[in-house]
Structure formats: structure tokens, C-alpha cells
Structure 1
Amino acid sequence: MHDRTDARKPATHWGVAGNSREAQLRRRYPTVEDLRKAAERRIPSLGYETVAGGAGQYLGVKRNADALDDIELVPRVGADKGPIATDTTLFGRHYSAPIGVAPMGLQSVFWPGAERHLARAAQRARIPYTAGAVSGLALEEAAKLAPDVVWFQLYRLPRDDHRVGFDLVRRAQEAGVHVLVMTVDTPGRAKRPGELRNGLTLPFRPTLKTIMQAAVSPHWVAALLQNGQPSFPCFAPYCGDNPSKNDIAWFAQREVGGAFTFEELKRYRDVWKGPMVIKGVMHPADAEKAVAIGLDGVQVSNHGGRQLEAAPAAIDMLPAVVRAVGSKATVLFDGGVRSGLDALRAVALGADAALAGRAFLYGVGAAGADGANYVTDMLIEEISVAMRQMGTPDTAALRALPIRHPGAWQF
């Protein structure tokens, strides 16, 4: 098996000598939490909250993190000391590690141009990159930037019998997207206090508060001037001739809504010719229904704690979903991943791979394009280091580790 980590320049947690950009980033930001703190300092509050925030009092965000921290893995001794193989296969395609970039909306509000940085970084590292329908990057451009690893996430657009949704699927097919991800965990608009406090609107409408925030965020302003106002270019072809960014934002607000029904998913399954994933499953019975109608993957997710504050931690639902469909479908995990070890916790519990959102964006917010590459490298390295510590030479061996998971739900 290909050893993604060993094939690169040797790197260790203590190997930070020198003045290269990589060495500087390692010294300044040894963890994702360090990147988060730096991003919070560099980004206006209205941008930072679009990613870091959650529903209600952020209890769902905290629950995701706490539940991951509670999972204990018992290492084994006497394992082969040869190379650690972090690579994995998803839907018949080879990736360097069981981690990828989750779909995220409003990335360009958090950091203008973030989508391009992350797409390039994912292509370079050969990990999945999920382009979002409401991101600041048209799916065709995402496919050009990350041709070997691009997936596409679709929200429900029900008007005119899903005319726009089916056309987006056609465009994704023609652009060479490998996996279609259907989102079902946003049945309505959630109340997110951080966004309300900051009066977030698209396009931006300057107020005294936002001007004051921008005045102390020069790097973010420079990125905004370089990349322009955030928008949703995937929707531009459906907004008339030469639509303004305000026209596109209004279209997204008006047209995107609700969660796909299983009957609707069956219709999309008939149209899409490649692997198809349902994102936002929390109950094993829903996972079974999705697989029964022909979907190839199930993504266990509570939308990062950004929709229903009372929802269980996503990791606590993962084992039940794996028991229900793990032998019939690819199971992905998405919910609070902050490190390579968190990703391995999910894999040890039966997931085929974990996806992270905030962690990757914090890298961009802290150090721009360099940060995108840096956090990607760091997470893959953390996976390799943790596997070495646990005595698991490849990801398959993780499933045999003794695990204590106190929060796991039983059905």
C-alpha cells in the first residue's frame, strides 16, 4: 500500500528547526486550536461566526467535541515497525488518508477565496474535496482545481419539479464530479445567534459595526479586495442575464429549502450515474432506507451542531449506523473533527473516512493559501503518528482496537 506520509519529506512534531514557511507554521500553530485562535484574531466577527458558530447556545458544537474526547482507544504492542499506510479507498477511488474536506457554505464570508485554497490543497494531498452548492466556487471551477478528488454537495431546490437541482446534477456529471452528496439535515433555517448579532447579509451591507470590525482585520480585507464580494456562482445561470450578486443571493434564499424526501432521493438516484451519498443521517433506520433505494454512502452528521441544538453528538450515533448498513454501504463521519486522532476515532468505530470542515477553514483563516496546505499536511501527519502509537500499520487494523465509547446510542 502507498504510504502517503513516509513518501514526503520526513516530518515530526519536534522537527521545527529552520526558517522555512513550513517550520514557521509548525512553531506558531502546532494544533488546529492554535489555528482557530489565530483565525479569530484575523477575521471580522461577522465572518468568523459563519463557521465557528452554531445553533442556539452552541451546545451542539460543544457536544460533538466532548463526545469525541470521551472515546478511548487501547494501543497494542509488538506491531510491525515498518511504514504506516494511511491510504484508503472510497467508492473505488484511492485517497491518501481517511479524511476529507466536508461541504461548507459561506466559506468566502469566513475568508474570501477560501474555496480555491482548499480545493487546491485537497488535490495536492489527494483527499476528498466536497464542493458545496452554496459555496463561493462554481462546481465547474472546483472540478478543474481538484479533478482527482472533487465531490459535489446538493441542497434541495424544489421549485418547478426540481428543475435547478436536476440541472446541477447534469453539470456535475459533465464536470467530472466523482460523488454526489445529498443533504438532508437542513429541513429549515436554524436560529444562529452569532450571525444574527452581526447582521450577516449577502452581499455585505456596510454598517458602522462591520466597518469597525473590518478596520482591525487588514488581511481579511485584502483577501476581500482580491476576490470580491462573496456570492453563490453555482446559481448564476438560473438568475437571468448578467445577474448581480444580490440577485443570486436572493435566488438562493428563495429557492433553497427543506430536506430531500426519500421519494425525491430515488428520482435523483435514477439520474445520477456515479456514487451517491446521503448527508445528515443520525438514525440507523434512515440509513437503511437510503441504502434500500440504492444510495452508495451514508454520511453521519448533525451539520456541525449548526441546525438542531438538542441533537446528539454525531459520533455517538455512528456505531448504530455502521451496524445497520456498514456491510452494504460506505459510511462517512462528519461532526467536530479537530485532529487526525479524531478522524481515527471515527474509523475505529466503523467509518470508512471522516470529513472535517472548520479545521480546514481555520488553517485558511490563520495563514491563507499556506494555511490550507499546512492544515491538510498536519491532519494527515497526525493520522500517521496516532496509528504508529496505537500499533496499527493500516486503517483496517484500527477496527480491531479495544474501544471505550461511553456516549454511544443503542437502538
Structure 2
Amino acid sequence: MHDMTAKKEAAFVAAGPHPNFAKWHKLFPTTAWLREQAPRNVPRFSFEYGDTGAGNDIGIAHNWAAFDNIKIVPRYGVTNTLPPVDVDLFGTRYAAPVGIAPMGGPALVWPGADLLMAKAAQRVRIPYTLGVAGGATIEEIARVAPDVFWLQLYRFYRNEHAIGLDLVRRAHDAGVKVLTLTLDVPVRTTRSRETYAGLANEFKPNARMIREMLVRPKWLMALLRNGYPRFATIGPYANSTKTNEIIRFARQNMGGAFNWDEVARYRDAWKGPMTVKGILHPHDAEKAVSLGVDGIWISNHGGRQIEALVPSIDALPGIVAAVGKKATILLDSGVRSGQDVLRAVALGADCAFAGKSFLWAVAALGDEGAEQLVDLYIDELRASLGQIGALSLAEAREATILHPGAIKF
């Protein structure tokens, strides 16, 4: 496995919950409540952009159903306690095996969302992954989340990967902890609700979208504070700060999935821990590990690319069996609660990442949404561990798991 630059911390002290956690928890005790509130606070097109998946959202439904299908058999007669849930990932200690997944354009859902999520992750010390198509720059995130900052890259194939390799340089200079290459977007697909809402290509608000904005004054105030949604990290390469010019530039220069030769090239260029995201087959996981990749990130892109893909949680056991002793195992797509994190950990994941639920949270609660949700995930995870009689994350992996959807390769 590739040498890691990060050092394991001598001690770890978890932050307490946000001062407003109890107040918000009474109103929004689960992510489902946040999702219900979200469209009442933001323009319709914003909610549709963050909430939708490919086609008819069947892939999203499959992800959720796959998690709900997993049952854990509890053991009782042990000490009643809320166990610690801190975890070591790539030599850094984090508060819990839950992180914020990379997302494209979260500022369209709530202006300033990238920085809000990064700050919340830094406070409690869970991984925050900036998407290269996000609304904040690498350097901006490094200033607010220096201890938990991961970066995701798409494939910029033109000019011998000049942009991608420069992003690697910027990541190194900014102190990024982990670099992630996304493999699961080989072609562009259609998201029906997003398209119908007016976001098929460039961001050009029509009369309907403007009306939607005008009846959401809190969202408009956030827009005035934070500015127009933009792909901030890509902007310098497009020599523009205008959203649509950057979109056009990205579509001309970014595309396809990294092939294995390119993964090896980036592995050589990046000296810290590296993961590949979008893996669903054990043979692909084995290939990545053979190239020196440190982490396998199991993902079906949150159901946003194609509906027919296997849910990540169903692919997890086979990949753990193949490379679980050789690599750190990460997972996203369908994570909505601390119980879902527990299910993933019990089946062998080292960390589970959530995406959509953080968009629901910022849409529902604005600037405090991400703060609420990071605390909610940790609170639910600890309570779930205590409920099944596990005194640690390691004991959760020894629990009896009923997982009828697990894929047999």
C-alpha cells in the first residue's frame, strides 16, 4: 500500500453538539423531516437539483430500500452506555465513521453551502470532501476545514491532464488529507426532474424560476451574501468567474472516466492517501489496490447516473471480502441516518458518506443546517450502537447481520 503522509494523532477530543442542536432536533428529529421542510425554503429548481436522480429516481429508491432491508440482531445484558465512535482513516483521527460526500453545485441548493458544510465538518471533525465542481475553491475550504479536508477530482483529459495535475498540485499546497478520483461518470445522463425544473444545460433562470426565487426571501438573502452559484475551483482555468462560461469550459475539457493507466499516473503524482470512487465490483477494487490506491470508495453516484446500478450497500460485502484487509473501505449512496452508518460499518465499511441529506439540511435550515446534521448523525450512530449492545465499532462488526440483498460475485 502507498506510503501515507498523514500522522496518527496522539489524542482525540470530540466536540460537543452545536448550542442549537436540541432546539432543531425537536423540530427535525430525522433527515426525513429535513427533506419535507426543504422545498418550503428554497426555489423549486434548487430542491429538484439536489434531490433528484437519474430517470424516474428508481435508483435512489433502490438505495434506500437496500439499507432498510438490512437487519441487525441485538445482544443484551451488557453495560448500558453510549459508546465512542471515533475512527482512524488514513492516519487521521475523526469523530465518527461518517463523512460529507462530494457534490456538484451544492450552492445552487443553498448559496454558500460548500463552506457551511466544511465548517460543520471541521467543528466535529468528520471528513469533508469538496467536489471539484463545487462552489468554493480548494484554498477557501483549506482555510475553514484544514484538519478534515478531502478533495474529489473528475477527469480533465485535454492537454495531457494539465488541469487535473495542476489540481493535484493545488491540493498538496492546501494540505488536502485525501485525494479521490471519481470513476463512475463515464458518460453524461439525464436527470428528469432537474431537466424539467429548467437546469438541463446552462443556468439561465426563466420567468418561472425567477418567480420561484422571489417567494423564497431567505434563499435570496443567502444569494446576496454569497453571490451567484459558481464552479469556483474550475474558474481560474476558464479565465472566468461567470457560471455559464465555466460550465461551457468544463464540458469541453472534462469528461469520461479515469482508466487504469490514468489512475496509476495520478497515484504517482499524489504523495498522500488516494481513493477511487464509484467501485461496485470486487475485481475493480482489486485492480485499484494493485496500483497502490489506499481506499476503495463504493458508490453508485447516489442514483444520479443510471437507475439500474446495484445499491452500494449490496456490493459492500463482496468488496470487503476481496480487499478489506488491503484497503480502507468507504461507501456512499443512500445513507440517511446514523442507523445506515451502523449498517455500513457492521458490514465492513470503515466510513459511510452522506450527500443528499446535507442538501436537505441546508435547504431546510439554511446556514445552520449542516451544523444540525453532523450532530444528528453522530448522535444517532452512538444511540444505535448502544441499542444493539455494541460497546464499540469493532463489536458492531461482530453482530449478526441479515442482509438479503448482498450481491454474490
Partner of 1:357: 355
**59-68 or 362-371, larger mean C-alpha shift:** 362-371
Deviations for 1:127-150, whole angstroms, at most 9, x for unmatched residues?
A: 000011000010111111100000
Partner of 1:101: 100
Aligned-pair CA distance for 1:243: 4.7
Is the CA contact (8 Å cut-off) linking 2:198 and 2:205 kept in structure 1? Answer: no
Instruction: Give the SS at the match of 2:88.
Output: strand
Is the CA contact (8 Å cut-off) linking 1:182 and 1:277 kept in structure 2? Answer: yes
Deviations for 1:104-128, whole angstroms, at most 9, x for unmatched residues?
A: 0010111111011100000001000
Partner of 1:347: 345
Is the CA contact (8 Å cut-off) linking 1:3 and 1:83 kept in structure 2? Answer: no
Structure 1 residue identity aligned to 2:66:
A
Structure 2 residue identity aligned to 1:8:
G
Is the CA contact (8 Å cut-off) linking 1:123 and 1:146 kept in structure 2? Answer: yes
Aligned-pair CA distance for 1:186: 0.5
Partner of 2:4: none
Instruction: Give the SS at the match of 1:400.
Output: coil
Partner of 2:305: 307
Aligned-pair CA distance for 1:246: 2.9
Instruction: Give the SS at the match of 1:311.
Output: coil
Is the CA contact (8 Å cut-off) linking 1:202 and 1:230 kept in structure 2? Answer: no
Find the aligned partners of 1:357 and 1:254 in 2 and give their Cα distance: 26
Partner of 2:274: 276
Structure 2 residue identity aligned to 1:180:
L
Find the aligned partners of 2:170 and 2:246 in 1 and give their Cα distance: 18
Partner of 1:196: 195
Partner of 2:235: 236
Instruction: Give the SS at the match of 1:43.
Output: coil
Instruction: Give the SS at the match of 1:307.
Output: coil
Find the aligned partners of 1:300 and 1:206 in 2 and give their Cα distance: 35
Instruction: Give the SS at the match of 1:388.
Output: helix
Partner of 1:148: 147
Partner of 2:5: none
Percent identity for Structure 1 against Structure 2: 47
Partner of 1:397: 395
Find the aligned partners of 1:247 and 1:407 in 2 and give their Cα distance: 44
Is the CA contact (8 Å cut-off) linking 2:318 and 2:408 kept in structure 1? Answer: yes
Aligned-pair CA distance for 1:208: 1.4
Find the aligned partners of 1:239 and 1:104 in 2 and give their Cα distance: 20
Aligned-pair CA distance for 1:37: 0.9
Is the CA contact (8 Å cut-off) linking 1:111 and 1:220 kept in structure 2? Answer: yes
5 Å-filtered alignment, 1:317-396, equals: 317-396=315-394
Aligned-pair CA distance for 1:42: 1.1
Partner of 1:291: 289
Deviations for 1:203-261, whole angstroms, at most 9, x for unmatched residues?
A: 64231110121122221111112111111111122123x55333222111221111000
Deviations for 1:327-366, whole angstroms, at most 9, x for unmatched residues?
A: 0000001011100000110000000010000112211111
Is the CA contact (8 Å cut-off) linking 1:153 and 1:180 kept in structure 2? Answer: yes
**198-207 or 396-405, larger mean C-alpha shift:** 198-207
Q: Which runs of 5+ in 1 are unaligned?
A: 12-19
Q: Which runs of 5+ in 2 are unaligned?
A: 1-9
Instruction: Give the SS at the match of 1:391.
Output: coil
**205-214 or 328-337, larger mean C-alpha shift:** 205-214
Is the CA contact (8 Å cut-off) linking 2:70 and 2:402 kept in structure 1? Answer: yes
Structure 2 residue identity aligned to 1:250:
R
Partner of 1:49: 48
Find the aligned partners of 1:244 and 1:63 in 2 and give their Cα distance: 37
Structure 1 residue identity aligned to 2:334:
G
Aligned-pair CA distance for 1:289: 0.4
Is the CA contact (8 Å cut-off) linking 2:82 and 2:385 kept in structure 1? Answer: no
**346-355 or 366-375, larger mean C-alpha shift:** 366-375
Tell me how large the CA RMSD over aligned residues is.
Answer: 1.7
Is the CA contact (8 Å cut-off) linking 1:4 and 1:86 kept in structure 2? Answer: no
Instruction: Give the SS at the match of 2:126.
Output: coil
Residues 228 and 144 (structure 1), Cα distance of their counterparts in 2 relative to 1, 3 Å cut: same
- Matched length: 400
Q: What is the TM-score of this pair, normalised by structure 1?
A: 0.94
Return the match for 1:8 from 16, 19, 28: 16
Deviations for 1:184-210, whole angstroms, at most 9, x for unmatched residues?
A: 011011110011101216764231110
Residue 251 of structure 2 corresponds to residue 253 of structure 1:
yes
**44-53 or 177-186, larger mean C-alpha shift:** 44-53
Aligned-pair CA distance for 1:83: 5.1
